[in-house]
Structure formats: structure tokens, C-alpha cells
Amino acid sequence: MSAAITPIVMPKWGLSMREGKVTAWLVEEGAAIEVGMPIVEVETDKIANAVEAPDPGLLRRRVAQEGETLPVKALLGVLAPAEVSDSEVDAYIAGYVVPAPEAGEEEAEPAYQFIDVEGIRVRYVQRGAARRVPVLFIHGFGGDLDNWLFNLDAVAERHPVIAIDLPAHGQSDAKLPGAGLAVLAAFVVRFLDRIDVTRVHIVGHSMGGAIAAQLALSYPQRVASLALINSAGLGAEINTGYTEGFVAATSRRELKPVVEQLFADPQLVSRQMLDDLLKYKRLDGVTEALATLGTALFGAGRQTASPGLQLEATGKPVLIVWGAEDRIIPAAHAANAPPGATVEIFEGAGHMVMLEKASEINAVLKRHFAG
């Protein structure tokens, strides 16, 4: 019978996660659970999120206590149907051993790869079997590939995934190939050439969405479909107070109120998140590159290009996703979606909807790629 027991374990959100803190249980013992239902809140040094049910069943036991810090894959709780006896559940808990990390798993760094594209060293991740068209993730202004922390693994269940740090972002070199959308789209294509990928689905967030749309216009043969998340390029308005504040902030105290604008719930901005952003922003050349990019793409308080408005002509399937409380690019721009596009608006989420509503976004993305 113990085969019917499903463990709920401490997830591994991102390559650097080693442990997490259980902050709150969201369901009572004995409650009926559906797949995808949030069960328990976990906080890491990067972000807080809910662990979701991998299988249906009854929540038979809460093993982890609220406030407890546990390693990745530690047993948090037990799901099982009613016919499994309490003693079987007890035996399962008693016999549970935290699995040792798989070979190579402990070494966080090798999972990131680096490749030279036109003299700029680019960091990226690539994983998943290659039998389907890969999904390329492009982050936004000032972001990096870790913005997709909660999304890559979920999408990788069915599609190979690739996520890039754009030039002057994340751990790619602090150099720009140029500042316009066309130059950046061309750069992403050169990157795909370098890693021998011909055609991709693209998920683009914010500025990354505008790059994705431009790429679909300029290189339609390289793009299977588009998913644009809180995307630039679908209208003129943008909160340049945010982009300029992000560039100008030099201390944690200055950066915090700026970054809080990204989330519907400002509590999600942790000290670690700000420290990581400051570490990035302090690299030589980054501030200058971001200022150049910001001026080129959203100078004079408006977006300078709207490639997203021309997508109908490409005939590509387009998914538009928005957090309703986006304070950077108004969710009203979703109304400018090309005819035939699927539009999903999420209440209670801001600009970083893929972090704030990860499971919902993952479900929507999977449906989109399944066609």
C-alpha cells in the first residue's frame, strides 16, 4: 500500500537553493488535496512561495513544523488516500531518508554555461531532452535568468528550456552590442546560432517580451510561438520612475522602494534579493549600460518601439500574460494584444507575475506550448 503514499518534500527552487524554511501550512491534516493545490509556504533566502501538491490525496500528516528550516528534499508532509492506515503513514515517515544529491547536483555552478557571442560572454542555462522545440526565456530590464526560478523546471517537464542573461545583465559581460530592440533581437539570434538551436518558442518578460516580439518580426522562421509576460512593446506607457530609479540606486536603502514596485506584495522583496541586485549593479560598466539601454528603449518617459502591435502579420500563436497590479507597464496594454492571442490577467500579482503566480503561469505556459 505504501506505493500510494506521496511525500511532499522541500522543493529546490533554483540552482543555489540548499534549504528552505517552512513558514506556514495552508491546509489542515485530513484535507482533500487536488493536484497543483498550494499546501505549504516555504521561504528561501531569495523568495517565498507555496509548495504545490504533486498528486491528489488526503494530507495525512504535517511532518515539518512551521518555523523549521530543512534541506532540499526533506519530508514536509505525507499525502495518501484514506485506505492507507495511520501505521503505514507512521512507518513511511519513520523510514524516510532525505535522498543524497544526484551526481553533479551539489555543484551549482556547472549548470550555468557560458559562451562567447560576438565578443560578449553570455551566461545561460539549457536543459531538458531535445525532442521538442525548445522554449527560450528572455528576462527584462535589470533582470537575469534567475527570474525564471520557478518556471524553468515546470516547463522543462515537456520541453527543452533555454534561459539567457542578456548582455550587461546577470553574469553576462557588462557590454552591449547596441541598445535598440533590433540589435538585441539579432544578438539573441546569434546566441541561438552559437548553441545550434534553429527554432524556439519564446517566453519574454517586460523588455524581454519586446525583444521576443521584435525577433518574431525580424526572424519569423526562428520563432514557433510567443508568450509575452507583462511585456514591453505593446503600448507607449511605462513607469520610467522605476527604470531610472533602478539605474540610479546605489544602496540597499535607495533600491528597496524601487524594487518593491515590481511586486503586488512588497514583502516579497528580501534582503538577499536586494543584495544580489546590488552585487550585479556594482559591477563595472553595468550602470552605464543600463542607462544607455533605458534611454534608448524608454527615453522621454515612453516606450520608443511597439513591435508587439505588429504580431498579427506573423501568424504566430501569441499568449499575453499580465499581473493586474503591474506598476511598471500597465496591464491595460494586454488589450493591445494581436487578434487571436490568448490573454490571461492575474489578480493579486504585479510586474513579476512569473514569480508571484508561478504555478498558474506554469500551467498557462504548458497549455500554450501544447498548442
Residues that bind another protein (CB under 8 A): 109, 112, 114, 121, 123, 171, 173-174, 250-253, 271, 279, 282-285
Nearest partner of 214 among 173, 251, 179, judged by Cα: 179
Of 174 and 311, CB closest to another protein = 174
Q: Which residues contact 45 (CB under 8 A, 6 or more apart)?
A: 270, 272
Strand partners, 202: 136, 226
Min CB(21)–another protein separation in Å: 12
Min CB(104)–another protein separation in Å: 17
Of 122 and 328, CB closest to another protein = 122
Of 131 and 279, CB closest to another protein = 279
User: Are 209 and 231 within 8 A, CB to CB?
Assistant: yes
CA 287 – CA 254 distance, rounded (Å) = 15
Of 156 and 248, CB closest to another protein = 248
Of 287 and 362, CB closest to another protein = 287
Locus of grid cell 485506505? 83
Min CB(139)–another protein separation in Å: 17
Min CB(253)–another protein separation in Å: 8
Residue type at position 239 = N
Of 276 and 325, CB closest to another protein = 276
Give the number of other Cβ atoms within 10 Å of residue 142's Cβ. Answer: 26
Min CB(167)–another protein separation in Å: 13
Min CB(22)–another protein separation in Å: 16
Please report, for residues 116, 188, 248, 301, 303, the alpha-carbon distance to residue 202 in angstroms, rounded to integers and kept in the order given.
21, 11, 30, 27, 21
End-to-end CA distance of the chain: 38
Q: Which residues contact 160 (CB under 8 A, 6 or more apart)?
A: 126, 127, 128, 129, 130, 132, 134, 135
